[in-house]
Amino acid sequence: MTQATDPDRDTPRPTVPPRIVLVTGPSGAGRSTAVNALEDLGYEVIDNLPLSLLPRLLDGPPIERPLALGLDVRNRDFGVDALIGTIDALTAKAGDRAQVLYLDSSVDVLVRRYSETRRRHPLAPDETPTDGILRERDLLTPIQARADFLIDTSNLSPHDLKAEIGAWFGPDATSVFGVTVHSFSYKRGLPRGLDLVFDCRFLSNPHWEPSLKALDGRSEAVADYVAADPLFEEFFDRTAGLIRLLLPAYRQEGKSHLSIGFGCTGGQHRSVAVTERLAATLAADEWRVSIRHRELERRGLATPDGDGAESGVASETGPA
């Protein structure tokens, strides 16, 4: 971390390192629009940098301004393991100032975009775009799970996406404290970068109700079932109260973003229901909130392709 001298003191004080944003996601989801928007916001943008050259960049002269790196399957020497290694290297370099922005879109929308541009998919040059899209989404699943921000661009125009990028990564973003609420399965471990974690496994499990088993926690029937547990209201009220107490303190301490996780056995019912309810509660308090449902994302149910999903995984539930 670089040091700056306080004119009123002899001892140096630490300065915040520049933000580093790695932008990735399936081809056609809007990566080019996103990196252009970041460049307009004053970021130094490096697009399609071969992963093998990244160590030289990180070990070079100090980064003086925010940096955005655009990466996808078209990068030379691209590989999932190599990209995960890149994320780890960025985290080691800049800590929580290094973040992964994952742009996603529904299969139907990606197919339509490829049809409109008549481009060939990089993973299926001699097959249909659908073949390549499905192959790429499957390949990128581990990367999606490591993302700090996920924006579903299915229903966003380029102008909308630029506005979304500005809200999260613009110069005023640090003054707009952001909260991400995650649901997850304990079977697969904790999501990366959580600040607060709460266990929902003591609540009544809709999995054992035949009529609810196939649904998820975004369903009103599942949410009502979970809320009917005698312990739910006190658990939720105390948890929400604690978070309401802590959020202003975290913001005053200098954090610009807080990640909260709710876990259950399968990551489908209880944790999803509690995540949705807390996100709505915080949004009503005028906090800027986004939602991540890790296990639903893995199963393709957290985008408009999935049953009951009306908008993207990280669609804003709070005011701009």
Ranges of beta strands (E only) in the chain are: 3-5, 12-14, 20-24, 44-47, 67-70, 98-104, 149-152, 178-185, 196-199, 257-264, 288-293
Residue 239 has pLDDT above 80, yes or no: yes
Amino acid 11: pLDDT: 46
State how far Cα 304 lies from the chain centre: 16
Helix/strand/coil for 250: helix
Amino acid 16: pLDDT: 58
Same domain, 208 and 85: no
Same domain, 16 and 45: yes
Q: What pTM was computed for the model? A: 0.63
Give the chain's domain count.
2
Residue 245 has pLDDT above 60, yes or no: yes
Same domain, 180 and 234: yes
Asked whether residue 315 is domain-assigned, the answer is no
Same domain, 21 and 144: yes
Same domain, 32 and 125: yes
Same domain, 200 and 154: no
Could you tell me whether strands 98-104 and 149-152 are parallel, antiparallel, or unpaired per DSSP bridges? parallel
pLDDT digits (tens, 9 = 90+) for 15-44: 556 788 999 999 999 999 999 999 998 999
Categorize the per-residue pLDDT at 87 as very low, low, confident or very high, splitting at 50, 70 and 90: confident
Same domain, 75 and 222: no
Strand order of the β-sheet with 178-185 is 196-199, 257-264, 178-185, 288-293
pLDDT digits (tens, 9 = 90+) for 103-132: 998 888 999 888 887 788 888 888 888 888
CATH number at residue 88: 3.40.50.300
Q: How far apart are CA 70 and CA 285, in angstroms?
A: 35
Categorize the per-residue pLDDT at 318 as very low, low, confident or very high, splitting at 50, 70 and 90: very low
Q: Which structural domain range is residue 274 located in? A: 176-298
